[in-house]
Structure 1
Amino acid sequence: MLELRRLRLLRELSIRGTIAEVADVLSYSPSSVSQQLSQLEDEAGVQLLRRNGRKLALTPQAQVLVAHTEELLGSMERAEADLAATMSNVSGTVRLAVFQTAMLAVMPPVLRKLHDLHPHLRVEMTQHEPEEALHETSARNFDLVIAEQYQGHAAPIFETLDRRHLAHDPIRLALPLLGGEGNADFDRVTSLTEAATLPWVMEPPGAASRHWAEQSCRMAGFEPDVRYETADLQAHVTLVETGTAVALLPDLVWTQFERQLRFVDLDNAPVRTIFTAMRHSSARSPSIAAVRTLVHEQLKNQSA
């Protein structure tokens, strides 16, 4: 008889690639993971892993078991959702992954409403870059993700996930207010091209927003002088307000804050797309559906 707990370890290995990563994600020791996988081989009666240099590769037989494990986990998730739907209260835990702007501008009122409407529901929220968050939601380490993608830089597609459009968020060039002391160079800017000689603040390399911002500047004919790098958009705002740098900022940043900057519209009116995603197998979960519904309602109200 194959044990589901060991099958899940094999599935995690197919996702993570190394025993060390599986152990880290599941809070096991590497030796314990190796022992459990060896026992799974004994149960299956076939070789499941083979050495490929320094890494372990899954045999064709292991790939068959991984596919069936996905089906089993999906069936279990649907069963749990159907059982939860018979209850009078929405309860349980929803693990939510969000990007920073959504955590600041969207989630506080959503969490308050969830507390009022569903006091037995627990939401655990973690800030994650969208690409990693989507991967981890597909891998069942999150239940719901609020993600973003930029034009020309699409987020990865996972067949296991149901994606639903949330909003288009306009992006503009942010500058300090006119007339500030020492801001003469900023005051002259009326287009992206005219910001070519100014210092910039952007997110660190590897972020989708950084790739998009750099490409936008290059399409405008210049290489941006990126002197400041931070993933914290509130820091971007402060640096722009003080006349230290310019930035390309989405409108959602201003949902909860009074605008103290000057904005210049960009050619072609670029936007970032915001969406939610959850596994198809959890579609009937009352708890996840409650969180997702309120997120969509909140952003719709903020955009109105």
Structure 2
Amino acid sequence: MFDLHRLRLLRELKHRGTLAAVATALSYSPSTISQQLSQLETEVGVPLLEQIGRRVRLTPQAEILVEHTEAVLERLERAEADIATSLSGLSGTLRIASFQTATLALVPTALTLLREAHPALRVHVTQAESEDSLPALLARDFDLVIAEEYPGDPDPRPVELHQEDLCDDPLRLAAPTTPGTAAPHGPHGTEDPEAALRAYADHAWVMEPEGSAARRWATTLCRSAGFEPDVRFESTDLLLHLRLVELGHAVALLPDLVWNDREPTMGLGGLPRGRGSRRLFTAVRAGRSTHPAIVACRGALCRAAADTSPRTRSGALGDVVEPVEAPGRDHEQP
């Protein structure tokens, strides 16, 4: 029978890519990892790794072993969930990863609910972007991830993960305004979202970094409106995006959750139909989806999402402030 510990090391190498990364994640030395995998090769009787330059790659036989190891680990997680369900109290540690706006707007309320209902449950929270946290979930660095999906950019759905929708978060065009104005509109006061976007084609923009789902969505949105955005500021910090718009340095595309129950401080306009809302969801490994700590956390997050400001959940921010005209235009009634 193959050694489960060594099989897990092989699985770790599959997910993390290098012996050094496995060693760092598990607090072993690379030589120890290499020795353990060599012993596994002896047990299996076939090569499991092949050298490609300075890196190693799993052989087809190693890929077969990893697939079976995933099934074994999933079954063990189901056993752990069943045992936890059989107990009267909920304890242990739950590791959560969440991106910035969800961490600010939803996680604190969920933590309060969990503390009140399950005081013995220890919760660790790490702020991380979805592009990083979902692979880390598969690698077992986290137990639950709060992630986002932008319109037209669906994430892969690995069979190893169980996803549940959390809420939809409207996205809006955010532009600098004078006090008492808001909702950027198209030329001559028309409520044409693409015309509103084009009206800011010559302005500086702030967006998330290249390669992110948010950046791909935002760039596609602007190109669909007929222009290439002049991106002068890049950051994953949406509070920085907010500040740059407030001070008149840039135009941005901001989600409603960034306000976190505060009143908007800038002009906000709608986006083209079908492109103006991101999906928030939770993801866990399939074998852990019935664990009572996961069920409790998902329930608390759903309550937190439902308890956010009614205007945020309904997407009615345009009702809160008066419209502002598009820049550089005469705005006479047609």
Q: TM-score, structure 1 length as denominator?
A: 0.92
Aligned residue for 1:9? 9
What whole-Å deviation, never above 9, does each CA across 1:214-270 have from its counterpart, x for those lacking one? Answer: 111111111111111111111111111111111010111112322111111122261
Q: 1:1-304 residue pairs with structure 2 within 5 A?
A: 1-178=1-178, 191-268=196-273, 270-302=276-308, 303=313
Q: C-alpha displacement at 1:188, in angstroms?
A: 9.2
Aligned AA for 1:40? L
TM-score (normalizing by structure 2): 0.84
Identity %: 51
CA distance in 2, matches of 1:45, 1:187: 68
Conserved? CA contact 1:131–1:155, under 8 Å: no
* Deviation (angstroms), 1:57: 2.6
Residues in 2 aligned to 1:179 and 1:62: alpha-carbon distance in whole angstroms = 63
| Whole-angstrom distance in 1 between the partners of 2:112 and 2:78 | 28
Give structure 2 stretches of 5+ with no counterpart.
190-195, 315-334
Task: State the secondary structure of the residue aligned to 1:200.
Answer: strand
Q: What is the number of residues matched between the two proteins? A: 300
One-letter code aligned to 2:230: D
Partners of 1:3 and 1:40 within 8 A in 2 = yes
Between 1:102-111 and 1:138-147, the stretch displaced more is 138-147
Question: Structure 1 residues 271-280 or 251-260, which shifts more?
Answer: 251-260
Gaps of 5+ in 1: none
- In 1, are the aligned partners of 2:185 and 2:269 still within 8 Å (CA)? no
- Deviations 1:14-56 (Å, cap 9, x if unpaired)? 2223212222222222111111111222233332222233332
SS in 2 for 1:277: strand
Residues 43 and 299 (structure 1), Cα distance of their counterparts in 2 relative to 1, 3 Å cut: same
Aligned amino acid, residue 87 of structure 2: M
Root-mean-square deviation (CA), in Å?
2.1
- Look up the match of 2:322: none
Q: Secondary structure at the match of 1:78?
A: helix
Task: Tell me, yes or no, if the aligned pair for 2:219 and 2:229 is still in contact at 8 Å.
Answer: yes
**1:154-195 CA-partner distances (Å, limit 9, x unpaired):** 122211111111212111111223259xx9xx9998611101
